[in-house]
Structure 1
Amino acid sequence: MTAESRDRIIALLARQQPKAILGTPEAEWVDFKTAGPNGPYDLGTDKGKFELAKDVAAFANTRGGLIVCGFRAKRRPTDLHEAAQKEIPFAKRLVNTDTYKEVITEYVRPLIDVSFLWFEDASDPDLGYFVIEVQALPESKRWALVVKTLSEDGRLVKGGVAVPRRHSDKTPYLTADEVYQAVNAGLRGEPEMAVDLAVATGSVSDVEVTDSVVDRLLEDRRRELLASLPRRKAEESPRRQREGLALSGSEKQFLHEVQRLRDLHDLVPTMMSRDSRTPQQYRAEVDAYLEKCGRQLPSMLRRTWAQQGAPLVLRLANRSDVMLYQVEVIATVSPEYTAVLWFPPPGAASDPAKLPWPEPPAPYGSKSLVASLYAQPKLSWGPAIAAAAVGQRSAPKRPLIRQSEDRLVIKFPPVDLRAHARAALDPVLVYGDGSSAEDSVAVHWTATCTNLKGRQQEILHIPVHPLSVTLSPDADVPEPESE
């Protein structure tokens, strides 16, 4: 399950677009239910109470998920799992959230973090969809138990427990052997990993870039590149005839030869310095370059402006009484955000006016015969020596960032933590495109270590800091301004 999968279902229902959910298969993180005459769960019966407790405990024992009520799920012959086939909204009066809370509190141990959401249907405000959002239990607190079992005649039986878990689109139970192993490990007093993840400094930046900013920067860049074109020379006024005596024919021919040699002398430097491109060809190169920049400029601006603030630094805390070795944290964020490694900007590189523009075309006049004669050859052995020098020392480990269409994953290098100690993880830059209207972003994180079994899963909400890139009226470079 991914954070964006759950967020997408909730967002579509909030925008009253239930049809967009059709075709979503049931999985480890989602289950679809229709509502009967007494609602999705008939809590007036023992069977209905057990089904609610079982489903909630199963999601809590896995990775959390959604119970989406108001959809019929069916498996077609070509599908592997059942999928939402039809939306069937129902009346809100069929759902009493207080009763749902009482049943979960009475029949599930330990207490589970559960949220109840209601979304109205666009065609009829009296009808809607009911969503039960279940958060995963941390590894240190598993397993969630249903403290009563269901007999064959549909009655709750005291004295028994059931341990359900979500597996694909099914809900199996822990076997007797698995329950024994879990109880036996607990009785032996094996230590459990218990860590916390919090924001030490920084935030997620949400950088808005308007079209006017992009257009003005591209125009400034165009003027800068076209400045290398030669200016038109003013026409020379014709030479005035000198006053004096008329010249003989041989003298006129001599002066003609002198003038021809002078013109040739002036023509040679011009030919040597003339660019192999015409001004029209250079303008075409500039246009193609600016078109490429127009596609990359918004992302360049967002990254540059995100670097002006403090990077996001997460703090990991060991709450257990034992030392934890090689604690590895993996954070998953919605794909609408981007993350890059953060390095302290050295000196002038921190100037917000210096954008990382792509390599521009060679200036007009640089591709001439004179320039080719004075061009210095590149040394082929330089990069090899540099690579060998770097290979002599091991590079420090940095966070591994993977961006895909459905998620952003940040894998931090493992750290050792003494009992009740804290450590700051490596700083990263996380930023969005300015389209988010939320005050915080949910980060689903998982922690593991090498000396204890199991893993811990939690959700961390990180504040979002909005930024808007604007241009000052008397400058050619933009300046970041906080909204």
Structure 2
Amino acid sequence: MTAVDSRVRIVTLLAQQRPEAVLGMTESEWVDFKSTGLEGPYDLGQESKKYELAKDVAAFANTNGGLIVCGFKATRRPTDLHETVVKPTPFAKRLVNAEKYKKVIAEYVRPLVSVEFSWFDDPTHQDLGYLVIEVQALPESDRWALVTRTLSEEGRLVKGGVSIPRRHGDQTEYVTPDEVYRLINNGFHAEPTLDLDLSVEDGIAISVTVDDSVIDSLMEKRRRELLASLPPSERRSGGQREGKSLFSNGQRAVEELRRLQEVTQVSLPDLLTRDLRSPQQYREEVEAYLEKNRGALLRMLNKAVAEEGKPLNLRLDNRSNAMLHQVEVIATVDPGYRVTVEPPEFTAALGNLPWPEPPEPYGKKTPAAGLKSSPIFPSWTFYADRRQSLAGPLPKCFTSEDGLAIKFPPVDLRAHAHTWLQPFMLCGHPSTAGAAVLRWTATCTNRDGRQEKVLSIPVDELSVTLRPDGETPELVTK
């Protein structure tokens, strides 16, 4: 069974005219699949269907928002925990009247809820397609959304009563009368709740694709650079020249014997300046170094690509009348992304990757060199430590069950004030195409509860390829 892990994924599949890929997806707290009848998904000629539309919209607005996807039949098999999509049921576009839907929602739902309607054509049936109704979550300060009618046993709308639906798993449940009383009673005495908003002030996320051939070419280039310190006659082993394996035990033993024979024939100055390693041993050090850093190469490329884009600047607004102390924001994104926080002086160029410090070049690891003090060359991890001290408090990143989590340092916010969170780069290879979905929560020390919302971030899709020289990487826009 395919898990529905992103609202964007469903919209992307329908936009790509791939409704068959929706089969097997399960309903959840933020998605509800609806099959259609002869009059469309909501026959507004029936009062019960008007109530159903208002109820569905209010239920999503009272949780974290979600999608009502019309044109798919979902059912719960005996062995399933949730209803699962089993069949596409596309319907005619003429059966959808978005203006009438909006009028019903505006009449029967309080407060006003933000709703968007999107139509997607079916690839195999002319004039048929699917409707997606996207409902935005209400801010905490405006909850709860009420349906200003109740439904009688005869299926007629009754004035004078209200209901408060909310999404729970793949079902809609109602706030009980006892809970309604408690909410009303607490409302008379409650202090202001959190009312925060997070928006993209500037910047983009980058989705980057790196072909395996790019990794292989860059590894080979690095290998040639490191082996260039060997004498020309030793840059290939005797085993390679004779068509034998590079790491042949017999070849290694022969080379060691030849080396011992040479050592006995040289003077002390020659002995002190001769490398303590054989050419074969140095080659093995190089191969071990490259193998260790193969995985790091992809991270270095992502880091270099990130420098080509604009850092994300997120603006945090306090829309309440209260001063908020130590507001802490935790954002979660697709685990395929990586987060980079870098001052300008520590950038990485795509054509000059910051490889970790390699083995000592051949000819430098000699008895004579050991008698001298070796200069200290800072590695790339040393610069990372310096970056931490220069940049001040940085976001902390960790992997959670929901994806890559970014925890920002707490900030104080005056009433109706705003601040910018630490700029960062979001770069990597996400599991879905399109806008990056950032789910964020916020808490503070002087108010109970927490804010939960979803933020959409624009994405640039890039790929790393090789220039005609076959060795220098470059960026190409997809």
Give the shorter-chain TM-score range. Answer: 0.7 to 0.9
Please state whether the residue corresponding to 2:106 is helix, strand or coil.
helix
Q: Which amino acid aligns with 2:153?
A: E
Shift of residue 281, structure 1, vs aligned partner: 5.1
Shift of residue 426, structure 1, vs aligned partner: 2.4
Q: Which amino acid aligns with 1:14?
A: A
Match of 1:416 in 2: 412
- Whether contact under 8 Å (1:196, 1:319) holds in the other structure is yes
Match of 2:314 in 1: 314
Change over 3 Å in CA distance of 1:343–1:16 after alignment to 2 = closer
Shift of residue 444, structure 1, vs aligned partner: 3.0
Match of 2:117 in 1: 116
Match of 2:396 in 1: 400
- Whether contact under 8 Å (2:464, 2:473) holds in the other structure is yes
1:5-404 aligned within 5 A:
5-188=6-189, 190-200=191-201, 202-206=203-207, 217-232=218-233, 266=266, 275=275, 278-280=278-280, 282-283=282-283, 285-287=285-287, 289-290=289-290, 293-307=293-307, 311-340=311-340, 342-344=341-343, 355-365=353-363, 398-403=394-399
1:428-467 aligned within 5 A:
428-433=424-429, 441-464=436-459
Shift of residue 315, structure 1, vs aligned partner: 2.5
Change over 3 Å in CA distance of 1:409–1:125 after alignment to 2 = farther
Shift of residue 139, structure 1, vs aligned partner: 0.9
In structure 2, C-alpha distance between the alignment counterparts of 1:480 and 1:345, rounded to whole Å: 20
Shift of residue 155, structure 1, vs aligned partner: 0.5
Q: Which amino acid aligns with 1:344?
A: P
Please state whether the residue corresponding to 2:51 is helix, strand or coil.
helix
- Whether contact under 8 Å (1:4, 1:335) holds in the other structure is no
Identity, in percent, stands at 58
RMSD of the alignment, in Å? 4.0
Match of 1:236 in 2: none
- Whether contact under 8 Å (2:274, 2:367) holds in the other structure is yes
Please state whether the residue corresponding to 1:225 is helix, strand or coil.
helix
Q: Which amino acid aligns with 1:296?
A: A
Q: Which amino acid aligns with 1:297?
A: L
Q: How many residues are treated as equivalent by the alignment?
A: 436
Q: Which amino acid aligns with 2:296?
A: Q
Q: Which amino acid aligns with 1:334?
A: D
Moved more, 4-13 or 152-161: 4-13
Q: Which amino acid aligns with 1:143?
A: W
For residues 131-183 of structure 1, what are the alpha-carbon distances to aligned partners after superposition, in whole Å with 9 as ceiling and x for unaligned? 21111111111111101000111100001111000011111111112212222
In structure 2, C-alpha distance between the alignment counterparts of 1:478 and 1:23, rounded to whole Å: 40
Q: Which amino acid aligns with 2:179?
A: E
Change over 3 Å in CA distance of 1:201–1:35 after alignment to 2 = closer
Please state whether the residue corresponding to 2:362 is helix, strand or coil.
coil
Shift of residue 48, structure 1, vs aligned partner: 0.7
Q: Which amino acid aligns with 1:109?
A: R
Match of 1:252 in 2: none
Match of 1:247 in 2: none
Q: Structure 1: where are the runs of 5+ without partners? A: 234-262, 377-392
Shift of residue 465, structure 1, vs aligned partner: 5.7
- Whether contact under 8 Å (2:146, 2:162) holds in the other structure is yes
For residues 389-432 of structure 1, what are the alpha-carbon distances to aligned partners after superposition, in whole Å with 9 as ceiling and x for unaligned? xxxx9x97542223468633222222221222333322322124
Moved more, 51-60 or 97-106: 97-106
Please state whether the residue corresponding to 1:416 is helix, strand or coil.
strand
Shift of residue 221, structure 1, vs aligned partner: 2.0
Match of 2:422 in 1: 426
Match of 2:245 in 1: none
Q: Which amino acid aligns with 1:328?
A: E
- Whether contact under 8 Å (2:304, 2:349) holds in the other structure is no
In structure 1, C-alpha distance between the alignment counterparts of 2:63 and 2:142, rounded to whole Å: 12
Q: Which amino acid aligns with 2:343?
A: P
- Whether contact under 8 Å (1:339, 1:401) holds in the other structure is yes
In structure 1, C-alpha distance between the alignment counterparts of 2:282 and 2:214, rounded to whole Å: 25
Query: What TM-score do the two structures reach when normalised by structure 2?
Result: 0.77
Match of 1:379 in 2: none
- Whether contact under 8 Å (1:3, 1:333) holds in the other structure is no
In structure 1, C-alpha distance between the alignment counterparts of 2:140 and 2:155, rounded to whole Å: 32
- Whether contact under 8 Å (1:208, 1:435) holds in the other structure is no
Moved more, 105-114 or 211-220: 211-220
For residues 374-395 of structure 1, what are the alpha-carbon distances to aligned partners after superposition, in whole Å with 9 as ceiling and x for unaligned? 899xxxxxxxxxxxxxxxx9x9
In structure 2, C-alpha distance between the alignment counterparts of 1:332 and 1:283, rounded to whole Å: 43
For residues 301-324 of structure 1, what are the alpha-carbon distances to aligned partners after superposition, in whole Å with 9 as ceiling and x for unaligned? 221342466533323222222111
Change over 3 Å in CA distance of 1:304–1:69 after alignment to 2 = same
Change over 3 Å in CA distance of 1:434–1:34 after alignment to 2 = closer
- Whether contact under 8 Å (1:4, 1:407) holds in the other structure is no
Change over 3 Å in CA distance of 1:464–1:403 after alignment to 2 = same
- Whether contact under 8 Å (2:48, 2:155) holds in the other structure is yes
In structure 1, C-alpha distance between the alignment counterparts of 2:431 and 2:42, rounded to whole Å: 38
For residues 447-467 of structure 1, what are the alpha-carbon distances to aligned partners after superposition, in whole Å with 9 as ceiling and x for unaligned? 222322333334434444677
Please state whether the residue corresponding to 2:397 is helix, strand or coil.
strand
Shift of residue 268, structure 1, vs aligned partner: 5.6
Shift of residue 300, structure 1, vs aligned partner: 0.7
Match of 1:386 in 2: none
